[in-house]
Structure 1
Amino acid sequence: MNHAEVLNVEMKCRNRKDEEMLEEDPASAHVIGSDSWMQVALLLVTSYNCGWILSFSNLMLVPLGWKWGIVCLILVGLLSAYANWLLAGFHYIEGKRFIRYRDLMGHVFGKKMYYITWVFQFPLFILGNMGFILLGGKALKELLLVFSDTTTMRLQYFIIITGVAYFIFSFVVPNLSSMRIWLGVSAILTFSYIVAVLVLTVNDGKSNIKINYEIKGSTIDKVFYAFGAISAIMLSNNPGMLPEIQSTLRKPAVKNMRKALCAQFSIGLIVYYGVTIVGYWAFGSNVPDYLPKALSGPKWVKVLINIAVCLLNIFSQHMFLQPVHEFLDTKFLKLDEGIYSRENLKRRFILRALLFTGNTFVAAAIPFMGYFIGLLGSFTLVSLTFIFPSMIFIKIKGKTASVEHKAMHWAIIFVFSLLGVATTISAFRLVIQSVSYYHFFADQ
């Protein structure tokens, strides 16, 4: 048995020992340690295959082309799988369970890193939720346009409808563990609309005689757009909240989380990468920012796709906003009462109403929210996914790890720090260019 295998066995034994030593879970208003790995796996697979994947062809492959696009998809996918696998192993340290990323970083590196992690996570989750509200509103408008080429209803009305729907669901389903029955509905919707999209896209691709795959723009534009595409690929594979998702798992939480990750980076990744590649194959550089816009076919199929996207976004945004809900609920609800007690129902209603009112207003006012999500996520998600787990590894395992392992994680920190800076500059440049074309409360 070589040194790497010995280290792996030691880490497994230590994780098992840590879980056995655990006496009490940290205080939280949400359910801790009750879900099976299959439930979390289904949550990950369906949440990652939400309506956002219909923009991936345009975001990821158009700026990179076939060769570099496929290379980056595979490479970022593999590195993301490893980084999440690594982070899952630090759910327990010396018998203490960490159900929040910020608590883990604060324990390992001190109070300063606790607040840095908080600042990296929460604006990203809130801004991402605004993006989900915007996407849902656009999907609703596309649904109406299936029946009519024009509509007098502005995009903002559809955004408000979406925000209200998200609010109601978040109130009725207070946490991730409460999503059990909804995950079955989510799975049916996910694979129904993806099959419909793939069938229509393949049919259109076969009928397109001449497809242009040329990467447009000047040399400097191509470079910046390429970094933006890499940032989008990283955003598509990583939640930035793995400890919070892992907190719902029953023991052994580390082993169960890694089983769920296997499902995400096999079934889940194949599905959204498949839609990305097929969309680019069918339409090339002319693929729109929302794939159904380019699809021909019967109206009922387009209706199915857009309805499924609207409904799936409700489930997906609920997962990605959970750390914010958990923070607010733990701080303001009465933990000595049941989550469905009259007082906690009233408080949760107020908290959710305030949160979604603010998010919906901003989404309606800034309908080009996607550019800001890329800007914020380009550095924060790189840090949360790749840099921080390697920092934890060096801090916790540095004395026992091999020189090769330590060198690899130092290399990850260095390379992804540079990449984070590059993608942030690219995203900032895109925001500056794009803002000049839009105005507040634009109907587009």
Structure 2
Amino acid sequence: MDVEGGDNKATVLSIEQGLQNQKPIQIEDSGVTTAHTVGQDSWQQVGLLLITSFNCGWILTFSNLIMVPLSWKWGVLCLIVVGFYTAYANWLLAAFHFINGQRFIRYRDVMGFLFGKKMYHLTWVFQFLTLLLGNMGFIILGGQALKEIHSEFSDSPLRLQYYIVITGAAYFIFAFFIPTMSAMKNWLVASALLTFSYILVTLIVMVKDGKSNPNREYDIRGSQADKVFHAFGAISATIVCNTGGLLLEIQSTLRKPAVKNMRRALYSQYTVGLLFYYGIILLAYWAYGSHVSVYLPQNFSGPRWANVLVNALAYLQSIVSQHMFVAPIHEAFDTKVLDIDKGMHSKQNFKRLFVVRLLFFSGNTFVSAAFPFIGDFVNLLGSFSLIPLTFVFPSMIFLKVKAKTARREKKAWHWFNIIFSSLLTIVTTISALRLIVDNVRTYHFFADV
């Protein structure tokens, strides 16, 4: 396997020049055409993108989803093991951005090239399902943040669905004017400032609340069956907070050497980035114990300005960070629908781009308003689709590409990964579906949660 193509391999023939003049590019030796940018971003830019995107508003839910079902011993162990395991899996997958000198800018293209059309379509379904559910979760979280802000000034805030619609509209506007992942470059500094600002205020409030409430409980509640299923749900949530199932799509934006640069960006995510979102998870559980809310700011005791500031900053930051997790879907639609010989904001493509983004966010916003259960989205996308994308498929790729040269112990390790992760997918998916069934019984459609 060639880790990187030579100078004449996988060369970008034409690169978009600025947001308004974005043109499709053609990747040599692969026959791939895309409307988005390939091979232009630095690893520092992508590293900052990963740090800020994974420190998005989702981290305000993970203490409830991970620590409450597991408590201290198993919760910390789960965070450490899953963190290392996902970091290793992404580090491994980054090497397969190039196979025999050919560059693959999409995960599904690699799987289709190695395993055929069925695996191409299966990967497409798994990946897009993950990203769709993730975007719905972002919309719900954004709506929840707006509702929390309004609740500070009114005893009768509007229904959650109104705020969800506002959030969907904001995401649509950003995705229309900043259509690609590379185009986020000038927004990453602002996103970083927002990220570390709301994290800092959150940490200060939690320390204050924790000191004022010494009688916290850390017991795991529920029947024995509930404890088991919720524990597997916590594993799914831990995977979600560490990876997104779109590594090759992110890596496609990097300039050469793409493998080395992607791994540098991953080191940033799993050191600096992980330090902050793991810190929020653990400190929130310390401060509020088993009563920590599924949306952390609901636990804050004040002052009012801190509650409003955290929700406002998290909301604004999510507008930028959500875009990374949905960019591969935008890329597929843009490449299919737009006139690939014209710029994305050209006169010929302006209306098409507007309609494509409008239809996408209208559909996602409607589903989010109908099923506003944050935990369900996290657990389901972390089980059914994200576990295979993160753990099963990279090992399958390794065994296919390195079948003749890999040592026996390495082959055994990757077969173990495939079998264990497949079983974990089944169990965690059952747990997620069980939670959905329980919530469907408890809540009606368009519930104001």
**TM bracket (short chain):** over 0.9
**Partners of 1:337 and 1:68 in 2: CA distance:** 54
Equivalent position to 2:298, from 293, 318, 323: 293
**Partners of 2:201 and 2:6 in 1: CA distance:** 46
**Partners of 2:248 and 2:10 in 1: CA distance:** 16
Q: Which amino acid aligns with 1:29?
A: A
Which residue in 2 is equivalent to 1:281? 286
Equivalent position to 2:234, from 229, 237, 245: 229
The CA deviation at 1:374 is: 2.1
* Deviation sequence 1:152-186 (CA, Å, 0-9, x none): x2111111111110000000101011111110000
The CA deviation at 1:205 is: 0.6
- 8 Å CA contact 1:19, 1:92 repeated in 2: no
Which residue in 2 is equivalent to 1:40? 46
1:27 match: secondary structure: strand
**Partners of 1:52 and 1:353 in 2: CA distance:** 24
* Deviation sequence 1:177-200 (CA, Å, 0-9, x none): 111111000000000000100011
**Partners of 1:172 and 1:340 in 2: CA distance:** 8
* Deviation sequence 1:101-122 (CA, Å, 0-9, x none): 0001000111110001011111
The CA deviation at 1:16 is: 3.3
Which residue in 2 is equivalent to 1:160? 165
Which residue in 2 is equivalent to 1:110? 116
- 8 Å CA contact 1:45, 1:268 repeated in 2: yes
- 8 Å CA contact 1:18, 1:94 repeated in 2: no
Alignment of 1:309-328 (within 5 A): 309-328=314-333
Alignment of 1:139-178 (within 5 A): 139-151=145-157, 153-178=158-183
Which residue in 1 is equivalent to 2:82? 76
Which residue in 1 is equivalent to 2:396? 391
List alignment gaps of at least 5 residues for structure 2. Answer: 13-26
- 8 Å CA contact 1:124, 1:373 repeated in 2: no
Which residue in 2 is equivalent to 1:64? 70
**Partners of 2:7 and 2:138 in 1: CA distance:** 36
Which residue in 1 is equivalent to 2:357? 352
**Partners of 1:221 and 1:354 in 2: CA distance:** 39
Equivalent position to 2:220, from 215, 218, 241: 215
- 8 Å CA contact 2:38, 2:253 repeated in 1: yes
1:441 match: secondary structure: coil
Q: Normalization by structure 1: what TM-score?
A: 0.95
**Partners of 1:20 and 1:83 in 2: CA distance:** 29
Which residue in 2 is equivalent to 1:16? 4
- Greater alpha carbon shift after TM alignment, 58-67 vs 357-366: 357-366
**Partners of 2:377 and 2:166 in 1: CA distance:** 22
Q: Which amino acid aligns with 1:51?
A: G
The CA deviation at 1:358 is: 0.9
The CA deviation at 1:357 is: 0.9
* Deviation sequence 1:280-333 (CA, Å, 0-9, x none): 011110111111111123221111100111111111211111111000000011
**Partners of 2:4 and 2:329 in 1: CA distance:** 30
**Partners of 2:203 and 2:66 in 1: CA distance:** 18
The CA deviation at 1:379 is: 2.1
**Partners of 1:129 and 1:16 in 2: CA distance:** 32
Which residue in 1 is equivalent to 2:190? 185
Which residue in 2 is equivalent to 1:443? 448
Q: Normalization by structure 2: what TM-score?
A: 0.94
- 8 Å CA contact 1:368, 1:438 repeated in 2: no
Which residue in 1 is equivalent to 2:18? none
Which residue in 2 is equivalent to 1:7? none
- 8 Å CA contact 1:80, 1:385 repeated in 2: yes
**Partners of 1:411 and 1:143 in 2: CA distance:** 48
Which residue in 2 is equivalent to 1:205? 210
Q: Which amino acid aligns with 1:186?
A: S
Distance 1:129 1:17, change over 3 A: closer
1:392 match: secondary structure: helix
- The percentage of aligned residue pairs carrying the same residue is 59
Equivalent position to 1:400, from 399, 405, 419: 405
1:92 maps to 2:98 = yes
Which residue in 2 is equivalent to 1:52? 58
